[in-house]
Amino acid sequence: MDRSNQTSPLVGFILLGLSAHPKLEKTLFVLILLTYLVILLGNGILILVTVLDSRLHTPMYFFLGNLSFLDICYTTSSVPLILDSFLTPRKTISFSACFGQMFLSFAMGATECVLLGMMAFDRYVAICNPLRYPVVMSKVACGPMAVGSWAAGITNSVVQTSQAVRLPFCGDNVINHFTCEILAVLKLACADISINVISMVVANVIFLGIPVLFIFVSYVFIIATILRIPSGEGRKKAFSTCSAHLTVVFIFYGTILFMYGKPKSKDPLGADKEDFADKLTSLFYGVVTPMLNPIIYSLRNKDVKAAVRNLVSQKHLTE
């Protein structure tokens, strides 16, 4: 694309999305819209039952409610933009709106990494030190842990977004993505982005690597403790209390590793196919994962299912 003919990205960017596949866009529009509605419904119900049902007023469900709220915020920051891009070929987005969306998505993603680590610590204390659980995971402790997760994610987003927004953009203004994903935006900068790359690497170590390591170590101790339980029924019950969280962790981090960990093709045709695959993978990460979270926790948790049934029955009684 001829750089001399491009409008200034200070006015706006153009989101390319899947404009090269118009038929697929229509199908994806319907699928993502339905998925988004399921996300709002499923996570909304989880938040509702964790607030209204006194039996769920425990640290595990407190963090689960935060995770559900986080998923709603994360998808709402990007899904409407994705849906709009499917309806409008070469969707234009203003400079401020682009970096605003980038800030929200980055903040929510980093917060979820830290929050999943907090949830792993909760399961570690519950299984490995059950007698100390009421003291260690008291309401006084859980509040700051949740606030710390949100503060860490927002702080990271402020740093990364503020560095990106100061870059000069004087060439192409076409973002080869559905949303203002930070790596896709940085590629358009006509300046040295080495500081941005180093900053992102450091942030990934802190907000991605450390939580993964923390979760891994926690589950090493958890599994070792479960295996020492003499009865098979006791082991099954203990493992069931953390299986939902472990499933969510595998899906969340597995998708991230697939997106950013696989080698890039040097062949132009192969690169085009990889771009297409990367876009679909980012959709899975940004939409499907938040949809699966409430389903996983509902299907694998008797307390949540009982709370939902009670909520539905109370609604029928009031009617």
Q: Is the pLDDT of residue 275 over 60?
A: yes
Q: How far apart are alpha carbons 41 and 250 in whole angstroms? A: 23
Higher pLDDT, 17 or 51: 51
Render 264-288 in DSSP notation, one character per residue: PP-SHHHHHHHHHHHHHHHHIIIII
Domains of the chain in sequence order: 14-262+273-309 (1.20.1070.10)
- Please report, rounded to a whole number, the percentage of residues in the chain having pLDDT higher than 90: 32
Q: What is the pLDDT of residue 92?
A: 82
Q: Which helix (H) or strand (E) holds 13?
A: strand 12-15
Q: Is the pLDDT of residue 317 over 80?
A: no
Higher pLDDT, 224 or 281: 224
- A 10 A CB-CB count for 103 gives 21
- A 10 A CB-CB count for 28 gives 22
Q: What is the pLDDT of residue 295?
A: 85
Q: What angle do CA 4, 10, 14 make, to 5 degrees?
A: 70
Structure tokens given for 177: 């993505």
175, β-bridge pairs: 15
Structure tokens given for 245: 């969280």
Q: What is the pLDDT of residue 220?
A: 94
Split at pLDDT 50, 70, 90, the class of 151 is very high
**pTM flag (> 0.75):** yes
Q: What is the pLDDT of residue 3?
A: 43
- 4-15 mean pLDDT: 59
Query: What's the pLDDT tens digit per position in 102-126?
Result: 999 889 989 999 999 999 999 999 9
- 273-297 mean pLDDT: 76
Q: Which helix (H) or strand (E) holds 31?
A: helix 22-52
Q: Which helix (H) or strand (E) holds 162?
A: helix 139-165
Closest CA to 185 of 1, 25, 15: 15
Counting every residue, how long is the chain? 319
Q: Is the pLDDT of residue 277 over 90?
A: no
Split at pLDDT 50, 70, 90, the class of 1 is very low
Q: What is the pLDDT of residue 2?
A: 43
3 — alpha (psi -120 to 50), left (phi > 0) or beta? alpha
Closest CA to 301 of 259, 224, 245: 245
Q: How far apart are alpha carbons 14 and 173 in whole angstroms? A: 6
The residue with tokens 């996570």 is 43
- A 10 A CB-CB count for 139 gives 10
Query: 254-263 as b/e, with b when 16 or more CB fall inside 10 Å?
Result: ebbeeeeeee
Query: What's the pLDDT tens digit per position in 208-248?
Result: 889 999 999 999 999 999 998 888 888 888 888 888 888 88
Q: How far apart are alpha carbons 1 and 19 in whole angstroms? A: 16
- A 10 A CB-CB count for 233 gives 8
Q: What is the pLDDT of residue 268?
A: 45
Q: What is the pLDDT of residue 90?
A: 65
Q: What is the pLDDT of residue 318?
A: 58
